[in-house]
Every structure is written in C-alpha cells, then in structure tokens.
A = this chain, B = another copy of it.
Amino acid sequence: MGTLAVDLLGKALKNPVMNASGTLGYGIEIEPLWNIETLGAYVTKGLSEKPHHGNKTPRVWEERHGMINSIGLQNVGVDDFFSHYFPFFVERKVPVIVNFFGFSEDEYISCARKVPSHHLVVALEMNLSCPNIKKGGISFGKDAPAVHNIVRAVREVTPVPIIAKLTPEVKNIVEIARAAYEGGADGLTLINTMPAAVIDTRSRNMPLKGGLSGPILKPIALRAVYDCYKEVPIPIIGAGGIMDAEDALEFLMAGARAVEVGTATFADPFAMPKIISGLGEWLDENNCAGIAAITGIAHG
C-alpha cells in the first residue's frame, strides 16, 4: 500500500491534504462531523495582530460552480488564537499552518512575531492579497518588489518557515512567486480567490463584490501551479476549486507538494476526508509507492 505521507518544510505530514484558510473556521467547528487529525495539517483562518470585524452582509453569494465571498478577514486576532484555539491542535498533535495578514508592513511584522516557534507550527502562510493601507491601498502582493520587501521584512523577524500565498490578480504570477522566493519564502500557496462581482438583474444592483472560489477557479489555479513549478525551487501548495481526489491529483501532477481544499467543504462537509481516502485508493490502483512521487509529473 502506498503512503500518503509528504514532507513539507521539514515536517512530516500524514497526507498532503489541508483546508484552505478561512474555510474551516477555527478548526473545532468541524469536530461534530470528523476529527481534525484526519488532515495533513490545519491552516488557520487569516489572523491579524489585532482582532478584525470584517465586512457587512451579504458576505457570500453562489455562482455557477463556485461562490463569491467578502468576509473581510474577520478574526479574533493572533493572540487569542494562540491562547484559546491552538491548545486544541497541540492536544491532538495536528500540524498547523498559520495564515496571517496585515494592512501595513508593521502589522505583518508584529503579527508574525507573535507566532511561537512551536514544533507543530509548520509555517506562516502570508496572505499577500491585502491592500497596504499606508501606501494608498496598493496591494502587497501584486508587485514583485513589494512582495520581495514584505517577505524579507517578515523573514527577518521569525525563524518559522514562510509560505507566500499569492493572488491570481497579477500580471505574471511566476514573477511574483520568484520575488517571494528571493525575499526568503520557503514555500508558495497558489492561489487565493480572484476578484469578481455579481449583478442582480431583478433588483438592478450589485449585491456583492469579492473573491471567487470553487471549481470555477481550478483551471486558473492549475496554470499558476504548473507555471511556477519549474521556475521557482520551493514547494508549492495548490488551492483553487479542488472538489475531489481527481482534482487534487491534477494539482499534484502540475507541481504541488500538497493541496488546500476550501469551498468544497461548504458543498460537502466530508469533502476532505473523501479526498484523502480517494488519494489512497488511487495509489493502490496505480501501484504507486507514495503520493510524494507524483508531484510535478505532468512536466514529463
């Protein structure tokens, strides 16, 4: 029987499947249905130095084969997460990836500083889709030099590995990925949601603008993973519309070492456990010794 175990930034994960940030609450909410230990790792909701309240409702809207959200990064703050929620993962020995953000370089730095260098903390996942309020709202994640600088700034204040999570709303994602790598990122998460909007012809207005996720995003995400794999020598976590084991395999073959599953969980709360067992079956059916070996095989 093949093994699902993968190595990510020096930590052994029991499988390459984790939730995408912001789509599994604080982790405990799923417990009535299945155990968090099922996952290769848990990715936190986006955390910030201080608590954030987020946006007004409506915050979610269904799209054909996807959804749009404008949660607005509501979270309890990094301190509260580590005092109230982190012990739950420690007790269950579940590796944690700490997704975080800021609206200024200082906020990124002070948030990162607060993350302890615990053996279960696999990495800091930097959400680079945030606007830099100090610099007139220009996003941190859209210009290569800005990405380089912010990653480097965080790199200097923490010994924890850094994964840069990129937005697809850029002119060349490979260039941004390279800038993150050169700034000191140890890994990449590709991709975050794509900006989108809804128009309601009955009420004749625009009820919601926000980030598009779900199956609709998959071909865009696959292309980002495929293109970055050869150009940037750090592990990639693939995300965007993964609904089943077949989708997960596509990302692994395109070059991902692990995958994050987000929106799928809303359509089927058992999506992740199913993907994990589906990957196991695939290994067996294909006489494959380990899932780690299929990373990037689509490149020939």
Contact = CB atoms under 8 A, between A and B. Distances in A.
Interface stretch (A26-34, A98-106, A178-186, A201-209): A201-209
A253 B207 CA distance: 12
Contacts of A194: 220
B142 A253 contact: no
Interface in A219-237: 219-220, 222-223, 226-227
A199 B222 contact: yes
A170 B171 CA distance: 4
Interface stretch (A48-56, A61-69, A86-94): A61-69
A196 interface: yes
12 contacts: A64-B215, A64-B218, A68-B219, A142-B172, A195-B223, A197-B254, A199-B250, A199-B253, A204-B298, A205-B298, A209-B223, A212-B219
Interface of A: 63-66, 68, 139, 142-143, 169-172, 194-201, 204-206, 209, 212, 215-216, 218-220, 222-223, 226-227, 246, 249-251, 253-254, 294, 297-300
Question: Shortest 4 CB-CB distances between A and B: which pairs?
Answer: A196-B219, A197-B223, A142-B171, A199-B250
